[in-house]
Amino acid sequence: MSQKNQRNLTELKARAQPALKHARLVEIASNFKPNSSYQSALKETGDAALAKACRWLSIIYRDHGEEEFKKFVDHGTKQANEKT
């Protein structure tokens, strides 16, 4: 992965982080294109910030693939569980 792509992935992960706390948003991000993810998440939560995070998560799935998406989700879920 090039340095530019890695930086983009790092930025995407930072923006998508809030969505990891919500299993339903992770599900939405993995099943819809980014704009549809935003709309669905907004309807689900009523929170524009969470909807944007869901959209960024969907972009990770689209641009970096299912494997990278799953690694990020699994790592984020593990961190969230350690904090509780």
Tens-place pLDDT, residues 64-79: 999 999 999 999 866 6
Per DSSP (E only), the strands in the chain are none
Domain count for the chain, please give it. 1
Q: How far is CA 48 from CA 5, 7, 19, 54, 57, in A?
A: 26, 25, 11, 10, 14
**Domain assignment of residue 46, yes or no:** yes
Q: pTM of this prediction?
A: 0.86
Where is average pLDDT lowest: 7-16, 39-48, 72-81? 72-81
What is the model's pLDDT at position 76? Answer: 80
**Domain assignment of residue 28, yes or no:** yes
What is the model's pLDDT at position 7? Answer: 72
Residue 63 has pLDDT above 60, yes or no: yes
**Domain assignment of residue 84, yes or no:** no
**Domain assignment of residue 29, yes or no:** yes
**Domain assignment of residue 83, yes or no:** no
**Domain assignment of residue 71, yes or no:** yes
Domain extent at residue 71: 8-78
**Nearest Cα to Cα of residue 41 among 29, 70, 16, 17:** 29
